[in-house]
Amino acid sequence: MATTVDIERNTVLPSAEQVLAGQAIPADRLSDRRTADLAEAARATFERLAQPIGLLADTTIEEFGIIYSGDGMNNAETVLDEIYPISRYLFLFAITVGEPICKEISALFERNDFAAAAMLDAAASAGAELAVEAITRRYENELLSDGRLNSSQAVLPFSPGYCGWHISGQKKLFGRLKPETIGITLSGSCLMQPLKSVSGVLVAAAISDFDVDDTYSFCAECSNHSCQDRYHQLKEIRKTT
């Protein structure tokens, strides 16, 4: 049974620094008035048009194994292969920041307002990532508060198309979760629409289980190795709470 999750707009409003980061612009560039104005305008448009919403459904290790196998195109060895069989809980998820923002990005390009379009595109991408973070932390807190997780355990999201989970895995994930109910559809090439949408699985497991090497075959093609940051952030958060 899937549950619709309302996500407050202000929780997914990216900072100006996050908007710039999406365009490989250093944060100190905000000292440039024109860049700062463009970033603020993008944030204001995001705040006006974003319609963040999520969908969540619990699943079992067995069921997820079938979903994860997808069309059999995953890498031979993956992070999820190691983690999901020993996880405590698994939740399938999908989020979107909605269609109006995507339409506005296109409209800005049509009007030759390229800089504003690129800035809003970056804001929408950052907002979608923040929406994933919001539902991840929300359910982690819920699991922690009712005692299903302890302080040495945490929740992290994983998505098809990343870390060896082939993007064709979207098909079985959609078949089970039915994100169409919140307005997200999947094309034949496994592309989600609205474009600023994210789907995947939330994995609740021991924090130490998320300590993975970034030496898998697919890691060579990864530009950010955020798996390492995610693990270290989890450790830091728990140290301070």
Partner 1 sequence: MELLQQISDQLEKGDTVKVAELTSQAIEQKLDTRIILDNGLIAGMAVVGKKFKAHDIFLPDVLLAARAMYAGLDLLKPLMIEEGIPTIGKVVIGTVQGDLHDIGKNLVGIMLKGAGFEVIDLGNDVTPEKFIDTAITEQADVIGLSALLTTTMPTMKKVVELAKERGIHGKTRIIIGGAPLSSEYAGDIGADAYCFDGIKAVECVKGFVGIN
Q: What is the x/- site pattern for partner 1, positions 70-109, by CB under 8 A?
A: -----------------------------------x---x
User: CB–CB of 8/51 below 8 Å?
Assistant: no
* Length of the chain as a residue count: 241
Write the DSSP string, 94-157.
EEE--HHHHHHHHHHHHTT-HHHHHHHHHHHHHHHHHHHHHHHHHHHHHHHHTTSS-TTEEEEE
Side-chain half-sphere CA neighbours of 226 within 13 A: 8
Query: Which one, 113 or 133, has the nearer CB to partner 1?
Result: 113
Residues in contact with partner 1, counted by CB under 8 A, come to a total of 29
Q: Is 227 exposed, middle or buried (0-12, 13-18, 19+ CB in 10 A)?
A: buried
Q: Which residues contact 173 (CB under 8 A, 6 or more apart)?
A: 67, 92, 94, 160, 199, 200, 201
Q: Which of 9, 29, 88, 176 binds partner 1 (CB under 8 A)?
A: 29
30 is a site residue for partner 1 (CB under 8 A): no
163 is a site residue for partner 1 (CB under 8 A): no
Q: Which of 115, 144, 206, 207 binds partner 1 (CB under 8 A)?
A: 115
193 is a site residue for partner 1 (CB under 8 A): yes
220 is a site residue for partner 1 (CB under 8 A): no
Residue in 12, 18, 9 with CA at minimum distance from that of residue 39: 18
CA distance 41 to 61: 44
129 is a site residue for partner 1 (CB under 8 A): no
112 is a site residue for partner 1 (CB under 8 A): yes
Q: Please state the closest distance from residue 172 (CB atom) to partner 1, in A.
A: 15
User: CB–CB of 205/83 below 8 Å?
Assistant: yes
* Candidate ranges 160-168, 198-206, 207-215, 226-234; the one touching partner 1 (CB under 8 A): 160-168
28 is a site residue for partner 1 (CB under 8 A): no
Q: Which of 1, 24, 147, 215 binds partner 1 (CB under 8 A)?
A: 24
Query: Which one, 8 or 180, has the nearer CB to partner 1?
Result: 180
Interacting residues toward partner 1 by CB under 8 A: 23-25, 29, 34-35, 38, 105, 109, 112-115, 117-119, 121, 161, 166-168, 187-191, 193, 195, 221
